[in-house]
C-alpha cells in the first residue's frame, strides 16, 4: 500500500490519495496533535471514512511508538517512565500477556447514527493495512443470544431478565465471557455486529458482555451517537471518555441527537402505567405480610427480594399521584395550543410532588429496586415496568447537574432556562389513562390528561457536558454541514480547525437539472397547498415515468414525507401511471418499519445487477433510512429525483418553539453574530435533508449519475445557495422538459463510453453476484424481498383483496416453480423477437421477418414478467376475468367477432399465482407429491388418482380449501363437472361449473367468419397487385426502408446518421432498448421538425418494446404512434423515394375499388392471427406441456 508522509507521520493508504483526501487527513492529524476540536466537511463519495480511519490509526501507532521510545530511554538511565501513574481505567493494549507500555495512548471512539452505518465503516477498516484491537458496542436487543431473553417482546423486558440471569449466574453464555475474552482470535479479529453475534453462537459466549469486555483493551471503539450523547446510556455502558478522541461521522445529525437525548415527553399513560406498577408491588407485598408470621416479620418485606418497607412504597405512589395532579392543575388556553414556560419551571413543578435535588438519589434507588422486583426471577411483569423506567430516566434528565448547595439549585434552574422550554398541552395520543378506582386515585383521573414536554433547543448543552468528561479531541465530519459558521455556533464549543473540501469527480460525471415543469407544462411544486392536487400528482407521475426511460439501472425517488409518497402512489395506481412506470422499471417502496427494510433493499439491488433488466426504481422519503448513509453506488443509483423540499411541519409545537428560541438567542447576542434566525434554521433543515438525499448518487471516484430537482422552488437563489458548494456549478435550469430528456440522454451516453465499468466489488455490496443474473430475484429465498415492490404492502389505502383468496394465498412467493413462467416467457419472446426490417436494411445481411403489434380492438397481451415483477396490484385487474372481443368492422357495418376466453396475461397470471401460493402453503415433501401428481395427471389423464391426492393435500386445513377449488382451472374439460361436484362435497362450495366449460377450445370458439377474412385478404391482395403490378410485399417494404433511411440521412447529416446507424445495430444485436431509445430520442427531439421521423420509427421497434416507445413518444410530443399514421407515412415515403417509377404508374392508376377500401387491412388480419397464436400457446401452458411448445 502507498505510504504518505503527513505532519511527520507515515500514513498507509489503500491507494494513492487525491489532493482533497490528503488535505482531509492533514486536518485530522492536526486536530490530534494539537489536542483541539475540528469540523470537517467533505462531499459524499470523497472517501472521508477511509481518510478518518487511516489518519487516526496512523497517529495512534505513532503515539505508541513515541511512548515506547521514551520508556526505553528512561530505563536506560535507570529511571522508571511512570513511577506514580496508575493504570488507565480503559485497561491497556497488551499483546500476548506482555506488560503494556501504552497505558496513556488515547483511545479512538468512532460514532455514527446507526449500526448499519458503523458496519460500513468496519468494512472499510478491513480494506486498510491497520489491524487495531477493536470492538463495537450494541444493545441487548441486537446482541443477546439467550433463547429465553430473546422471547421477551419489550427491550425493557430483555434488559431486566438478562440482569436477573447474570446476577444468578444462570446464563451459560455470560459465564463463558471471562474465559473467551482472552482468546487471541476474538480479541484481534475485526468484527461488526453481525460477526459478533455469529462468533457468540459459535463459541457459546455472550456477544453483549464480550463486547463490553473487549472494550477495556480496544484501541478503537465503534458505537452509535446516543451511547455518547445520552448521559444515561454512557453510564449504562460504563464509557469513560477521559483522554479519548471522539469522532462523530455523519455529524449533520448530531444537532438533533443532542437535543433529543436531553429531552422527554411525559404522557398521562406513562404516569398511569407507573402507578399501576406500584399497585402491583403493594398487592404482592401485602400478600407476603398477611401470609407470614407477624412475630417474625416487620413491615420490611423480608425474603420477597424487595428491600423496601410498605410505607416507602406507598410514598412513591403518593409522589406519582402528586406529580399527576400538579401537571393537570396547569391551566391551558382555550385555543388548544398548549402553554409554554421557561426551563426552570420544571423544578417548581417537580417540587410540588416532593421531587428535588436532595430527594433524587433516594427516589431513584427505590424505583430501581421496584423495577428489579417486577422484572426479576420468574415474574412475567416486564411490560408493567415501562412507565417506571421512563420516570427514572426523566428524573435523571431533569436533575442531571448536581448543585453544591441550595443556592446553587437556583443557579442550575436559571441555566436550564438558557437551553430548555417546558411545554404542557392536552394529550392527543391513542393511549388513554386507565380508570383507577381505589382510595388513592387522583381526583382528575377521569379527565383527559395533559402531556408534559421538557425540550432542549440547544445542542450545545449536550456537547458541553461531553467536553466536561475530559476528552482530548472532538472531530465532527459529514458531507452536509454547510454553513459551518452557524453549525459551530450552535455547538457552543470551540472548533479551531475546519475544512470545506471539494469533490473528487470531474464535470462529465455529474448532471444536475432543475425541472420546474412536467411534460404537460404543469408547475411542479410540493408546497402544502399544491402537493395533493390531481394536476400536480399526475404531472409528477409523467415526469418520473419519462425520466425512468432515459436513466439506466437504478433510480432513486425521494419524497418530502410519507403522506406525500403514499398519496402519490395511490393516485398513480388509480389513474394507470404505476403500470406505465413499471413497464420501464419495477418500483420498490421504502417500508416505514425496520423489519422488512433489509429485504426490500436486497431485492432492489438484485434487480439492478440483472443483465437483462432495465434496472429498478426505489421510492423513499427524505430523512428516511434510505437517504441516510446507505450505499447506492454505481448501477444501484444512476439517478436521484428530488420531488420537493422536505420542510419540517410548520405548525408542530416543537418546531415553532425552536424557531422562537433561535430568534431570541439572535436578538440577545445581536444581529452581528453568526446565530441562525428561526426562518434560516427552518430552510436549512429542508436543504440538509435534500443534500443528504442527492449524496446517494456519487459514492466513489469513478461513479457517475444525474440529479433531478423537480420543484420550481429550486429556481430561487436562496434555495440554490443552500445546496452543496461542489454541486452548484453543475446546475442547469430547464424551461422545456424535452431538453431535460435530450441532455440527460447525452450525459449518460458519454459517461457510459468514457467511464470504467463498475468493479465486481461494488456490485457485490449486499448480494452474491455469482447467482444467475436473471433468476436472482426469483430464488426461493427471495419471497419477502420480492414483496418489496408491491405498492399495496406499503400504502394502506391501496390494499386490495382478491375474491376467492385468503390472505395467505395473496402473498406471492416466487420460487423454483415460478421459473417455469420465466422459461415460458423467454420461449414466447424468442419466437416473437424476429429481426426487424429496418435493422436488416442497415446491414443488408438478413431477410425481413418483422412483425406487427396486435392493435385492432382489445389490448396486447402483457408479458408474463409483469406477474413476477408487479405481483398483486397487477393481478387484481387480471383476476377479474371476463371475456374480451376483437372486432374487425368494415364500412357497411358487418363484423366478425372472435371471442377469446381471457387474455394470455390474465390466465397465465392466475396459473402462476396459484402455483406459487401452493408452494407457500404446502411443506416441501407435500409440494413434491403435488408436482408428481400433476405430472401423472398430464401423462395418464387419471382423474380419480389426482382427485384423491388433492383431497388429501388440501383438506386437512380449512384454510386450504380455496387452493383445492382454484385447481379447477387446470382440470381438463371432460373432468370439470366431476371436480366441481367433488369440491362441493368436500368444501361445501363449488367451482362455478358451467356446461360450456366441458367444451374443447375449438368447439367453444369455432372459426366463424374465417372465410370472410380470407376473401377480404384475397381482395386486398388483388387491389395491391392492380396498383403495383411489378412490386411484391418485399419490394414495397424495401422501398419504404430506402425512403425512410434517405429522409433520416438528409435530416440528420452524416455524423448523426452514423450515430443513428450504430444505435440500431446495437439494438439488433443486444436488444438493449434503454440504450437505443436514449440515442434515438436525442437525435430526433433536438429539432421539432424531426418528430415525424421519431413517430415513424415506431414501426421498427420490436413488439415487446412497442408499448413503452409509444407511451414515451406520446408524453414527449402529445402525438400517438398509431398504425393508421404509420400507413399514411409509409405511402408518403414510397411516393417520395420512388417518384420516377411510381410516376409512370400513376398516370394509368385508377382509384382502388370501394370493395378494396372496405376490406380489412393486412395489419388487422395479422393482429387476429397473432391473437390466435397467443391463445394456442396459452392452451399449452394450461396443460403444462412445455416440451411440446418448445418443439412446436
Phi-psi region of 924 (alpha: psi -120 to 50; beta: other; left: phi over 0): alpha
| Residues in Cβ contact with 1147 at an 8 Å cutoff, skipping those fewer than 6 apart | none
Q: Is the dihedral of CA 426, 432, 435, 440 positive or negative?
A: negative
220-224 and 134-136 beta bridge pairing: parallel
Q: Taking the CB of residue 459, how many other CB atoms lie within 10 A of it? A: 24
Q: What are the cell numbers at 788?
A: 418489496
- Grid coordinates of 126: 478491513
**Helix, strand, or coil (residue 406):** helix
By C-alpha distance, which of 814, 859, 873 is closest to 579? 873
Angle between helices 737-754 and 534-550 (to 10 degrees): 30
Q: How many CB atoms lie within 10 A of CB 783?
A: 17
3-state secondary structure of 131: coil
Residue whose C-alpha is closest to residue 1178's, from 837, 786, 904:
904
Q: What angle do CA 964, 908, 1001 make, to 5 degrees?
A: 85
| Residue 618 contacts residue 590 (beta carbons within 8 Å) | yes
Rounded to 5 degrees, φ, ψ at 472 are: -85, -50
Q: What sign results for the dihedral spanned by CA atoms 251, 255, 256, 262?
A: positive
Phi, psi of 401 (to 5 degrees): -95, 125
DSSP-derived secondary structure letter, 517: B
Binding-site annotation, residues: 144, 162, 171, 206
The whole-angstrom separation of Cα 691 and Cα 43 is: 10
Give dist(CA 1168, CA 1157) in Å, integer. 19
Contacts of 864 (CB under 8 A, 6+ apart): 821, 822, 824, 825, 828, 905, 908, 909, 912
Nearest to 742 by CA among 1063, 1021, 980, 1078: 1078
Helices (H), 399-479: 406-419, 460-467
Q: Which residues contact 874 (CB under 8 A, 6 or more apart)?
A: 579, 862, 866, 867, 909
CA distances, 1165 to each of 614, 832, 892, 1101 (Å): 33, 17, 18, 20
- CB–CB of 181/187 below 8 Å? yes
Residue 265 phi, psi dihedral angles, 5° rounding: -125, 120
Looking only at the bridges linking them, the beta strands covering 895-900 and 884-889 are antiparallel
Beta strand extents in 419-559 (DSSP E only): 420-426, 450-456, 473-478, 497-500, 510-514, 555-559
- Asked if residues 382 and 152 have their Cβ atoms less than 8 Å apart, the reply is yes
Whether residue 523 contacts residue 610, with contact meaning beta carbons closer than 8 Å, is answered with: no
Note the Cα 816 to chain centre separation in Å.
26
* 254 in Cβ contact with 230 (< 8 Å): no
Question: Which residues are part of a known binding site for [4Fe-4S] cluster?
Answer: 144, 162, 171, 206
466, 474 contact by CB (below 8 A): yes
Quote the CA–CA distance of 929 and 8 in Å, as a whole number: 73
Provide the 3-class DSSP secondary structure of residue 845.
coil
Beta carbons of 1118 and 740 less than 8 angstroms apart: no
Per the DSSP assignment, residues forming a β-bridge with 339 are 424
CA 1191 – CA 1177 distance, rounded (Å): 12
Amino acid at each position: 500500500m502507498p505510504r504518505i508522509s503527513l505532519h511527520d507521520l507515515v500514513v498507509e493508504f489503500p491507494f494513492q490519495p487525491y489532493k482533497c483526501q490528503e488535505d482531509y487527513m492533514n486536518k485530522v492529524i492536526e486536530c490530534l496533535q494539537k489536542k483541539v476540536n475540528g469540523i470537517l466537511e467533505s462531499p459524499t463519495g470523497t472517501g472521508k471514512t477511509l481518510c478518518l480511519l487511516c489518519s487516526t490509526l496512523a497517529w495512534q501507532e505513532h503515539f505508541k511508538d513515541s511512548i515506547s521510545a521514551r520508556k526505553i530511554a528512561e530505563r536506560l538511565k535507570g529511571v522508571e517512565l511512570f513511577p506514580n501513574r496508575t493504570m488507565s481505567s480503559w485497561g491497556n493494549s497488551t499483546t500476548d500477556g506482555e506488560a503494556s507500555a501504552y497505558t496513556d495512548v488515547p483511545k479512538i471512539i468512532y460514532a455514527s447514527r446507526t449500526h448499519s452505518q458503523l458496519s460500513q465503516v468496519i468494512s472499510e477498516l478491513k480494506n486498510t493495512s491497520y489491524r487495531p484491537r477493536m470492538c463495537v458496542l450494541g444493545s441487548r436487543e441486537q446482541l443477546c443470544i439467550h433463547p429465553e431473553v430473546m422471547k421477551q417482546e419489550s427491550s425493557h423486558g430483555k434488559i431486566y431478565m438478562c440482569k436477573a440471569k447474570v446476577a444468578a449466574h444462570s446464563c451459560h453464555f455470560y459465564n463463558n465471557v471471562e474465559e473467551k475474552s482472552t482468546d487471541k482470535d476474538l480479541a484481534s479479529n475485526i468484527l461488526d455486529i453481525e460477526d459478533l453475534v455469529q462468533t457468540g453462537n459459535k463459541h457459546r459466549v455472550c456477544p453483549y458482555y464480550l463486547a463490553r469486555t473487549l472494550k477495556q483493551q480496544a484501541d478503537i471503539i465503534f458505537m452509535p451517537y446516543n451511547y455518547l450523547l445520552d448521559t444515561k446510556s454512557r453510564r449504562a455502558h460504563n464509557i469513560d471518555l477521559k483522554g479519548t478522541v471522539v469522532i462523530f461521522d455523519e455529524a449533520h445529525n448530531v444537532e438533533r441527537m443532542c437535543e433529543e437525548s436531553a429531552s422527554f415527553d411525559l404522557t398521562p399513560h406513562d404516569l398511569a402505567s407507573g402507578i399501576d406498577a406500584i399497585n402491583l408491588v403493594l398487592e404482592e407485598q401485602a400478600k407476603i405480610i398477611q401470609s407470614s408470621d407477624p412475630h417474625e416479620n416487620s413491615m420490611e418485606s423480608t425474603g420477597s427480594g424487595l428491600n423496601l418497607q410498605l410505607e416507602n412504597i406507598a410514598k412513591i405512589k403518593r409522589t406519582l399521584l402528586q406529580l399527576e395532579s400538579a401537571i393537570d392543575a396547569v391551566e391551558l388556553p382555550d385555543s388548544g395550543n398548549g402553554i409554554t414556560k421557561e426551563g426552570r419551571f420544571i423544578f417548581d413543578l417537580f417540587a410540588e410532588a416532593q421531587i428535588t435535588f436532595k430527594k433524587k438519589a433516594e427516589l431513584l434507588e427505590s424505583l430501581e429496586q421496584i423495577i428489579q422486583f417486577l422484572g426479576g426471577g420468574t415474574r412475567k411483569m416486564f411490560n408493567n415496568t415501562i412507565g417506571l423506567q421512563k420516570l427514572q430516566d426523566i428524573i435523571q434528565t431533569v436533575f442531571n447537574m448536581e448543585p453544591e448547595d441550595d443556592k446553587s439549585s437556583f443557579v442550575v434552574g436559571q441555566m436550564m432556562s438558557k437551553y430548555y422550554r417546558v411545554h404542557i398541552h392536552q394529550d392527543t395520543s391513542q393511549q388513554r389513562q386507565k380508570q383507577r378506582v381505589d382510595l388513592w386515585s387522583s381526583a382528575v383521573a377521569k379527565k383527559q390528561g395533559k402531556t408534559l414536554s421538557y425540550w432542549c433547543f440547544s445542542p450545545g448543552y449536550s456537547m458541553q457536558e461531553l467536553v466536561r468528561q475530559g476528552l482530548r479531541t472532538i472531530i465532527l465530519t459529514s458531507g452536509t454541514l454547510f454553513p459551518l459558521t452557524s453549525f459551530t455556533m450552535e455547538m457552543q464549543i470551540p472548533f479551531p480547525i475546519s475544512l470545506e473540501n471539494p469533490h473528487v469527480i470531474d464535470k462529465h460525471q455529474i448532471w444536475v437539472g432543475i425541472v420546474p415543469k412536467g411534460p404537460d407544462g404543469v408547475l411542479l411544486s410540493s408546497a402544502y397547498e399544491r402537493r395533493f392536487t390531481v394536476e400536480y400528482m399526475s404531472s409528477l407521475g409523467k415526469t418520473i415515468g419519462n425520466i425512468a426511460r432515459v436513466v439506466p439501472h437504478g433510480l432513486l425517488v425521494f419524497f418530502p414525507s410519507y403522506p406525500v409518497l403514499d398519496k402519490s402512489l395511490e393516485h398513480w395506481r388509480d389513474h394507470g401511471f404505476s403500470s406505465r412506470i413499471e413497464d420501464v422499471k419495477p418500483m420498490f417502496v421504502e417500508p416505514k418499519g425496520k423489519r422488512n427494510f433489509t429485504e426490500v433493499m436486497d431485492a432492489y439491488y438484485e434487480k439492478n445487477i440483472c443483465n437483462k433488466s432495465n434496472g429498478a426504481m426505489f421510492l423513499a422519503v427524505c430523512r428516511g433510512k434510505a437517504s441516510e448513509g446507505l450505499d447506492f453506488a454505481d448501477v444501484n443509483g444512476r439517478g436521484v429525483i428530488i420531488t420537493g423540499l422536505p420542510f419540517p411541519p410548520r405548525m408542530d409545537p416543537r418546531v415553532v418553539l425552536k424557531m422562537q428560541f433561535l430568534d431570541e438567542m439572535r436578538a440577545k447576542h445581536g444581529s452581528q453574530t453568526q446565530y441562525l434566525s428561526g426562518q434560516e434554521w427552518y430552510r436549512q433543515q429542508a436543504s440538509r435533508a435534500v443534500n443528504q438525499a442527492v449524496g446517494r448518487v456519487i459514492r466513489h471516484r469513478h461513479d457517475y449519475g444525474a440529479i433531478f430537482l423537480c420543484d420550481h422552488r429550486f429556481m430561487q437563489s436562496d434555495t440554490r445557495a443552500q445546496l452543496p458548494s461542489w454541486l452548484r456549478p453543475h446546475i442547469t435550469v430547464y424551461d422545456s422538459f424535452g431538453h431535460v430528456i435530450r441532455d440527460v440522454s447525452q450525459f449518460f451516453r458519454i459517461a457510459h463510453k468514457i467511464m470504467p465499468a463498475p468493479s465486481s466489488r461494488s456490485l457485490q455490496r449486499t448480494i452474491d453476484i455469482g447467482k444467475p443474473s436473471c433468476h436472482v430475484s426469483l430464488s426461493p429465498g427471495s419471497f419477502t424481498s420480492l414483496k418489496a415492490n408491491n405498492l399495496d404492502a406499503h400504502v394502506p389505502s391501496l390494499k386490495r383483496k382478491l375474491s376467492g383468496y385468503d390472505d395467505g394465498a395473496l402473498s406471492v412467493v416466487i420460487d423454483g416453480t415460478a421459473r417455469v413462467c420465466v422459461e415460458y416467457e423467454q420461449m414466447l419472446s424468442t419466437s416473437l423477437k424476429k429481426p426487424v426490417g429496418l435493422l436488416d436494411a442497415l446491414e443488408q445481411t438478413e431477410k425481413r421477418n418483422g412483425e406487427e403489434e396486435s392493435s385492432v380492438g382489445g389490448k396486447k397481451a402483457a408479458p408474463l414478467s409483469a406477474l413476477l415483477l408487479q405481483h398483486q396490484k397487477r393481478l387484481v385487474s387480471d383476476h377479474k376475468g371476463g371475456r374480451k372481443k376483437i372486432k374487425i368492422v368494415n364500412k357497411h357495418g358487418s363484423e366478425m367477432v372472435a371471442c377469446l376466453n381471457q387474455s394470455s396475461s390474465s390466465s397465465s397470471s392466475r396459473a402462476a399465482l396459484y402455483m406459487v401460493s401452493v408452494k407457500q402453503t404446502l411443506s416441501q415433501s407435500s409440494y413434491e407429491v403435488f408436482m408428481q401428481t400433476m405430472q401423472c395427471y398430464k401423462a395418464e389423464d387419471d382423474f380419480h388418482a389426482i382427485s384423491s391426492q388433492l383431497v388429501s393435500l388440501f383438506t386437512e386445513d380449512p384454510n386450504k380449501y380455496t387452493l383445492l377449488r382454484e385447481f379447477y382451472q387446470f382440470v381438463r374439460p371432460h373432468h370439470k363437472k366431476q371436480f366441481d361436484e367433488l369440491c362441493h362435497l368436500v368444501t361445501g362450495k363449488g367451482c362455478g361449473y358451467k356446461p360450456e366449460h366441458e367444451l374443447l377450445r375449438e368447439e367453444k370458439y369455432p372459426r366463424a367468419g374465417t372465410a370472410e377474412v380470407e376473401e377480404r385478404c384475397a381482395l386486398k391482395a388483388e387491389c395491391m397487385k392492380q396498383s403495383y403490378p411489378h412490386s411484391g410485399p418485399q419490394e414495397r417494404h424495401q422501398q419504404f426502408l430506402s425512403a425512410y433511411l434517405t429522409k433520416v440521412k438528409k435530416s440528420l447529416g452524416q455524423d448523426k446518421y452514423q450515430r443513428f446507424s450504430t444505435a440500431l445495430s446495437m439494438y439488433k444485436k443486444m436488444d438493449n432498448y434503454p440504450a437505443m431509445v436514449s440515442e434515438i430520442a436525442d437525435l430526433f427531439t433536438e429539432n421539432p421538425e424531426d418528430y415525424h421521423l421519431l413517430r415513424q420509427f415506431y414501426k421498427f421497434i420490436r413488439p415487446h418494446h412497442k408499448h413503452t416507445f409509444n407511451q414515451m413518444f406520446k408524453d414527449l410530443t402529445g402525438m400517438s404512434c398509431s398504425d393508421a399514421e404509420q400507413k399514411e407515412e409509409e405511402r408518403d415515403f414510397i411516393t417520395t423515394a420512388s417518384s420516377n417509377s411510381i410516376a409512370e404508374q400513376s398516370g394509368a392508376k385508377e382509384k382502388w375499388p370501394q370493395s378494396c377500401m372496405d376490406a380489412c387491412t393486412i395489419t388487422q388480419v395479422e393482429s387476429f392471427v397473432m391473437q390466435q397464436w397467443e391463445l394456442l400457446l396459452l392452451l399449452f401452458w394450461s396443460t403444462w406441456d412445455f416440451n411440446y411448445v418448445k418443439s412446436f
